[in-house]
Amino acid sequence: MPDVTQILQLIEDCDAQAAEKLLPLVYEELKKLAAVKMAAERDDHTLQATALVHEAYLRLVGASNGENWNSRGHFFAAAAEPMRRILVESARRKQRIAVSGAAGRKLFGSAAPFPYLEKTTMSQFADYAVASDDYDSTRVPIGVDAILRCFARTDVPPREQTVLEAGCGTGNYLQALRPQVGSLFGIDFSDGMLAQARAKLGEDVELTCGSILEMSYEDGKFDGITCNQVLHHLDEGPSPADDPAEWKASGSPNVTRFINEAYRVLKPGGAFVLNTTTHEQLLDGYWWADLIPTAMVRLSCRMPDLDPLTQILAAAGFEIELIEADLDGILQGASYLNPTGPLNEAWRAGDSTWSLATETELTAAGERVEGMNLDGTMEAWLEAREEKRRSLGQSTFICSRKV
C-alpha cells in the first residue's frame, strides 16, 4: 500500500482517485488533531470530532491540488487551518442563534442554515451529521401498517388526524405515512438528517429542528405520535472505552422525560406508537450482532427493555393497548444480508451500534467475517442467525393511548 507521502504526490499529479485513498490513511491522525483543536476552542461547541474531520478534509482536499503538501507534516499542518475556520464558523453560527433566541425552529420553507442546538440532549454516540448522507441506503421504514392500525383505533379517521413523528430523521416514516394521514409534523435534532427529510418531503410536512425532550408544540396538539428507533439515543450509556459490566444504570431519565412530553402534546384519547428493540431482539434479531456482542450490551445499557418501558408509559398516564413484534420487517432493507457488509464503513454507519465497538472488537469482527467468507462457512452461519431473527423480529411496536 502506498504511504501518505506517495499519495500526496499522486494528488499533486492530479490523480483523481488519490484523494479517496488518502482519507483512511490519515483519518485517525486527523481525528486526534480535531480533538486537540476542539479542546483548545470553547468547550461548548456542538460539532463532533468526526464531523469536523470530514468537513475539514473535504475543504482541504477538495479545494487544493496538493502543491504545498510535499510531506506528511505539511499535510497535517495544512489540515489544521480549515479545522480552525470550521470551529470559528460553528461558534459564530451558535452565537447568532443564541442572540435570536431560537430554541427549536421550524424548517418549513426556510432556506437558512440549520442551527446547532444544545449538546446536552444530542445523541452523543451516533454522528448523524455524517451518517445522514448514506442513511437511506441502509434503512427502510418497517411496521408502517402497525402504526396506522394503532392510529385507526381512534374516533378521528387517520386522514383527518394531525400526527407527529418524534425523531423523524430523514423522514422515511413520514413519507410512508403521508398518503394515509391528514397532517404530518416531524421533529429531529440533526440538521443533516432534517435536510434529507426536507428534500424528500417538500413543504407539506412541517419539520422542526429541536429536541424531543422539550418540544415547542402546545398541549394536546396531536391526534397521534410515533417515535421510531430513537430511545437508545436519549440516555447515557457506556462508551467504547467502558466495560459495560461495570456500568451503573441510573434508570432512563430522558426516556421518561420524552414520554411525559409526548403525553403532554397528545390529545386525550390520542395514540402513541413507540417502535423500539427489546434486549432479546438486540442480541438475536440482527445477524451481525454476534460479531460485536460487547457493543450490543453497551447499546442495551442505553435503552429500557420492554418491562421498564411499559412501566414508564403507564406512570406517564398511557394505557397500553397492544405490543407486537414485527417478525418480517428488516430495518436495513436490501443491504442487510450483505455477508461482507461489516467490512464496509458506510454499511456499518447504517446502524449506530457499530460506533459502540472498540477498535479491537472491530478488528476481530472484520477478521471473523473475512475468515467465514473465505472458508465458505458464512452462508450456513448467516442462515442460523437469520432463523433467530425470523422468530424474534428486529423491532417491537407498543401501541398506547392517552387516557
Ligand X SMILES: C[S@@+](CC[C@H](N)C(=O)[O-])C[C@H]1O[C@@H](n2cnc3c(N)ncnc32)[C@H](O)[C@@H]1O
90 lines the binding site for ligand X (CB under 6 A):
no
Cα–Cα distance, 100 to 96 (Å, whole number):
6
Nearest to 170 by CA among 194, 191, 139: 194
Among positions 178-207, residues that touch ligand X (CB under 6 A) are 188-190, 193
- Contact between residue 136 and residue 350 where contact means Cβ atoms under 8 Å apart: no
Quick note: the x/- pattern for ligand X over 127-166, rule CB under 6 A, is -x----------x---------------------------
- Closer CB to ligand X, residue 262 or residue 372? 262
Nearest to 181 by CA among 227, 143, 224: 224
- In angstroms, how far is CA 320 from the centroid of its own chain? 27
Give the one residue of 90, 161, 208, 211 binding ligand X; rule: CB under 6 A: 211
Nearest to 140 by CA among 327, 344, 329: 329
Judged on CB neighbours under 10 Å (0-12, 13-18, 19+), 106 is: middle
125 lines the binding site for ligand X (CB under 6 A):
no
Question: Closest CB to ligand X belongs to which residue?
Answer: 169
Q: Which of helix, strand or coil describes residue 272?
A: strand
User: Which of the ranges 106-114, 222-230, 299-307, 387-395 carries the binding residues for ligand X, by CB under 6 A?
Assistant: 222-230
Minimum distance between the CB of residue 230 and ligand X, rounded to whole angstroms?
A: 4
User: Which of the ranges 15-23, 26-34, 226-234, 297-305 carries the binding residues for ligand X, by CB under 6 A?
Assistant: 226-234
396 lines the binding site for ligand X (CB under 6 A):
no
107 lines the binding site for ligand X (CB under 6 A):
no
User: Which of the ranges 43-51, 143-151, 168-176, 341-349 carries the binding residues for ligand X, by CB under 6 A?
Assistant: 168-176
Q: Which of helix, strand or coil describes residue 164?
A: strand
Nearest to 229 by CA among 141, 288, 354, 135: 141
Q: Which of helix, strand or coil describes residue 183?
A: strand
Q: How far apart are the first and last CA of the chain?
A: 64
Minimum distance between the CB of residue 359 and ligand X, rounded to whole angstroms?
A: 23
172 lines the binding site for ligand X (CB under 6 A):
yes
- The residue count of the chain comes to 403
Q: What are phi and psi of 255, to 5 degrees?
A: -65, -45
353 lines the binding site for ligand X (CB under 6 A):
no
Q: What are phi and psi of 54, to 5 degrees?
A: -65, -45
Q: Which residues contact 401 (CB under 8 A, 6 or more apart)?
A: 153, 269, 270, 271, 272, 318, 319, 321
Give the one residue of 169, 238, 329, 350 binding ligand X; rule: CB under 6 A: 169
- Contact between residue 309 and residue 255 where contact means Cβ atoms under 8 Å apart: yes
Quick note: the x/- pattern for ligand X over 303-332, rule CB under 6 A, is ------------------------------
- Closer CB to ligand X, residue 193 or residue 292? 193
213 lines the binding site for ligand X (CB under 6 A):
yes
Among positions 250-289, residues that touch ligand X (CB under 6 A) are none
Cα–Cα distance, 280 to 132 (Å, whole number):
27
- Closer CB to ligand X, residue 122 or residue 378? 122
Residue 249, sorted as left (phi over 0), alpha (psi -120 to 50) or beta, turns out to be beta
User: Which of the ranges 43-51, 78-86, 91-99, 223-231 carries the binding residues for ligand X, by CB under 6 A?
Assistant: 223-231
**Pairing state of beta strands 205-209 and 266-276?**
unpaired
- Closer CB to ligand X, residue 75 or residue 189? 189
Minimum distance between the CB of residue 129 and ligand X, rounded to whole angstroms?
A: 9
How far is it between the farthest Cα atoms of the chain?
71
Minimum distance between the CB of residue 26 and ligand X, rounded to whole angstroms?
A: 28
235 lines the binding site for ligand X (CB under 6 A):
no
- Closer CB to ligand X, residue 181 or residue 193? 193
167 lines the binding site for ligand X (CB under 6 A):
yes
- Contact between residue 146 and residue 166 where contact means Cβ atoms under 8 Å apart: no
233 lines the binding site for ligand X (CB under 6 A):
yes
Residues within the interface to ligand X (CB under 6 A): 121, 123, 128, 139, 167-169, 172-173, 188-190, 193, 211-213, 228-230, 233-234
